[in-house]
Amino acid sequence: MDRRHKPSNILPPGEKLPAATVDIDEKRQTVSATLPNGDTVEVLLYGATVTSWKNGGGKTENVWVSEKAIWDGSKPVRGGIPIVFPNFGPPIKDHATSALPQHGFARNVRWEFLGSEKSESGTSSVKLDFGLYSSALPAKFREAWPLDFGLVYSVTLSEEGLRTIMTVRNEGSSAFEFQFLLHTYLRVNDISQTTINGLGSETYIDKVLNATKHEQTTPSLSITGEVDRAYIGVKQDTTSVLEGGSPRFDVIRDNLSDTVVWNPWIEKAKGMGDFAPQDGYKNMLCVEVGAIDGWQKLEGGDAWEGGQLIKSLL
């Protein structure tokens, strides 16, 4: 597959560097990796959810996780980078996913850690692979979506940033349809001083305004209240987050066409039992890349791949 932002070889030629380390915590059910420079990433096996990503020698946390997030597998984690698959939002009638819960099942089940790959030369990096297969789904989800599939989710930490890529394989003989989204919660210092660039003149569906369609008329978006917008068919690959006018994050889509921007603001935050602190909306911003406009159709035996690269610009 030829993609504009295809990852470079994780083992480039060059001088050898100290290798990253990988740690599996059986009690917490997490897999974490640390680069020689101190940057870290942590992934919870439940949902294959990225729950921490620190750069700057491990000092700067880049993702927001609720203080009341549930870690025991009884519900999806509030925060980090949950995976939305195979449906985005509430299930729709008369579709193969209509019996599934909101945002599908990928964030609701335990994934298998498939192993890691570390760079041995050139730029230091480490890739963690996680798998989810139809044969391992809990019965309730298998009955609701009785299709043969395989998912491989790759989380790569490097000095460049954090890359998260999903590969979807249709292991059956008949085609199926799916949607996919990475529900990334970025940590910001002050939402009132935060702006988003790269979505000017784009069309979006505004869920705050009864899912009506609009066009963004300004080059930058500021958050001054509840925001829940799904930008469809975004032309620019990069959505940039600025704090006080200074670059903070670049979110670069890879083989994905849509971007959701979400902040619950005051009232909605109060209504979520697992959202804490109540004013935590001031320190988080969701910039979510995905394929959610219609459905991706995957023929039997075929594979699809898409994801993102997030750069922390501090």
Q: Check residue 122 and give its pLDDT.
A: 64
Instruction: For residues 264-286, give the mean pLDDT.
Output: 97
Q: Check residue 7 and give its pLDDT.
A: 56
The CATH number of domain 21-312, selected from 2.60.40.10, 2.70.98.10, 3.30.70.100, 3.40.50.2020:
2.70.98.10
Q: What angle do CA 45, 24, 52 make, to 5 degrees?
A: 60
3 in a known ligand binding site? no
Q: Which residues contact 94 (CB under 8 A, 6 or more apart)?
A: none
Q: Check residue 236 and give its pLDDT.
A: 96
Q: Check residue 314 and give its pLDDT.
A: 87
pLDDT at 1 over 70: no
Active-site hit among 103, 183, 202, 243: 183
Q: Check residue 16 and give its pLDDT.
A: 59
pTM of model > 0.75: yes
Q: Check residue 17 and give its pLDDT.
A: 59
Q: How confident is the model at residue 11 (pLDDT cuts 50, 70, 90)?
A: very low
- Asked about 288 being catalytic, the answer comes back as yes
Q: What is the 3-state secondary structure (H, E, C) of the chain?
A: CCCCCCCCCCCCCCCCCCCCEEEEECCCCEEEEECCCCCEEEEECECCEEEEEEECCCCEECECECCCCCCCCCCCCCECECEEECCCCCCCCCCCCCCCCCCECHHHCECEEEEEEECCCCCCEEEEEEEEEHHHCCHHHHHHCCCCEEEEEEEEEECCCEEEEEEEEECCCCCEEEEEEECCEEECCCHHHEEEECCCCCEEEEHHHCCEEEECCCCEEECCCCEEEEECCCCCCEEEEEECCEEEEEEEEECCCEEEEEECHHHHHHCCCCCCCHHHHHHEEEEEEEEEEEEEEECCCCEEEEEEEEEECC
pLDDT tens, position by position, 192-242:
999 999 999 999 999 999 999 999 999 999 999 999 999 999 999 999 999
296 in a known ligand binding site? no
Q: How confident is the model at residue 32 (pLDDT cuts 50, 70, 90)?
A: very high
107 in a known ligand binding site? yes
pLDDT tens, position by position, 56-81:
999 999 999 999 999 998 999 999 99
pLDDT tens, position by position, 250-260:
999 999 999 99
pLDDT at 19 over 90: no
Query: What is the b/e burial string over 6-18, where b = at least 16 CB atoms within 10 angstroms of the residue's CB?
Result: ebeebeeeeeebe
- Asked about 214 being catalytic, the answer comes back as no
The dihedral region occupied by 271, where left means phi > 0, alpha psi between -120 and 50, and beta the remainder, is: alpha
Instruction: For residues 291-308, give the mean pLDDT.
Output: 98
